[in-house]
Amino acid sequence: MVQTNSRLQTKDPCHPLDDLIRTDRIPHIWCSGCGIGTAFSSCLTAIKSTGFDLKKFIMVSGIGCSGRAAGYVKLDSFHTTHGRAIPFATGIKLGNPELNVIVFSGDGDLFAIGGNHFIHAARRNMDITVICVNNLNYGMTGGQAAATTPYKAKSTTTTLGNPEDPFNLPLMAYASGATYVARWTMLHIRDLTDSIEEALSKKGFSFIEVLTPCPINYGRRNKEKPLDTLKLYQDNTIIKNGANPSEVDIDFEKGVILGKFVDEDRPTHGEKYDMIYRAVS
C-alpha cells in the first residue's frame, strides 16, 4: 500500500498522465514492485498518442489485480466479472461501433476462465484491443497456478512444481484469428507503448501480451527478487519481430522471444455483418 500523495490534493497535474487517471482513487491497490502499473501507464501513454477523442475510448477489465486498471483510468470504464471482459466489450463495440474498446486484464482472467471468449472474439475479428498482463499466476487470490504458469514453477497450489504446461498466448491468438499479435515485457516500455498505439490505431482484433512481475506472489515462490525478474526481462529476452508464433513459448533459459508477430488486415466482424446484413434493403 502506498501513502496518500499530498501533491494530489493540489489542482495542478503532477504527472503527465494525471488527466487519464482517477486521482481521487489513488492510492491504488498494487504492491510495490508490481509491474501492472508500468503496463497500465504504457497503455495510457499509447491512448494519448493516438490523438483519438478520449471520450470514445472505453476500458473494460475482468477480475484480478490487473483487472483493477479499469477502476483507475479516467475514461468510461467497466470492471466486469471474472473472465467476461471480452464478451462485455463485444457488446459495447456492437452497441456503438464508434467506440475504441480496450480490454485490459490478467492472464488468469483472459486465458483460464475467459479463454473461450478470447478465441471466439479473435475468430470473429472483433474490432477490439486486448492487453493481457501476464504475471504467470493468479496474483489477486494469492499466487495459485494459472494457465500461463511455466512447467515446474512453484505456486500455492503447485508447491512441488507445476505439472502442467502453459499456453503459448501469441500462438493461441494467431491460431484463433487475431490480426495483430505482439509480446513485450513491462521493461520494454517504449516498444510496448508503440505496440499498443499501433494496435489501437489498427482495425480488427489486436492482442498484446505484457510480461509483468508479480514479486509478491510469483517471484517470492520462485526465487526471483523483484530486480531478478527485471534482469531476466533484460538479459534473457530476444526481440524478433515477425517470429513464428509457434516458436515463442516462454522459456527464460532458452530466451523469451518478444516482438510483433502478426500484423494482418482482414475485414472485422462489424464490416462483415454490415456487408451481408445491411447492404441490401
Partner 1 sequence: MEPAVLTGEHYITGDVACAEGALAAGCRFFAGYPITPATEIAEHMSIRLPNVDGTYIQMEDEISAIAAVLGASWTGAKSMTATSGPGFSLMMENIGLGICTETPCVIANVQRGGPSTGLPTQGAQSDMMQARWGSHGDYEIIVLAPSSCQDTFYLTITAFNLSETYRVPVLLMTDEIVGHMSEKVIIPKAHEIKTVSRVKPKGRKDHFKLFKPGAKGVAPMACAGEGYNIHVTGLTHDEKGYPVMSVDTQAEMMERITGKIRNNLADISRTESYLLDDAEIVVVSYGVSVRTSLAAVEEARKLGIKVGLLRLITVWPFPDDLIRNLSEKVKGFVTVEINLGQIHREVQRCVGWKVPTFLAGHPGGTIIPPENVIEILKEAF
Ligand X SMILES: Cc1ncc(C[n+]2csc(CCOP(=O)(O)OP(=O)(O)O)c2C)c(N)n1
The listed partner (ligand X, Mg ion, partner 1, none) that binds 55, CB under 5 to 8 Å by sort, is partner 1
Residues 129 and 145: their CA atoms lie apart, in Å, by 26
38 contacts ligand SF4 (rule: CB under 6 A): no
82 contacts ligand X (rule: CB under 6 A): yes
Give 57 or 218: the residue with its C-beta nearer to ligand X: 218
Least distance to partner 1 from the beta carbon of 249, Å? 26
Length of the chain: 281
What is the longest distance spanned by two Cα atoms in the chain?
64
Residues 108 and 135: their CA atoms lie apart, in Å, by 9
107 contacts Mg ion (rule: CB under 5 A): yes
254 contacts partner 1 (rule: CB under 8 A): no
> Which amino acid is it at 204?
G
Give 66 or 193: the residue with its C-beta nearer to ligand X: 66
Which one among 20, 43, 63, 73 touches ligand X, defined by CB under 6 A? 63
Q: Which residues contact 32 (CB under 8 A, 6 or more apart)?
A: 2
The listed partner (partner 1, ligand SF4, ligand X, none) that binds 141, CB under 5 to 8 Å by sort, is ligand X
The listed partner (ligand X, partner 1, ligand SF4, none) that binds 145, CB under 5 to 8 Å by sort, is none
Least distance to ligand SF4 from the beta carbon of 263, Å? 29
| Only segment of 134-142, 147-155, 198-206, 270-278 that touches ligand SF4 (CB under 6 A) | 134-142
96 contacts partner 1 (rule: CB under 8 A): yes
Residues 75 and 89: their CA atoms lie apart, in Å, by 14
Chain contacts with ligand SF4 (rule: CB under 6 A): 30-31, 34, 36, 65, 135, 139-140, 214-217
Chain contacts with partner 1 (rule: CB under 8 A): 22, 24-25, 55-56, 58, 60, 70-71, 74-81, 83-84, 86-96, 98-99, 116-117, 120, 273, 277-278, 281
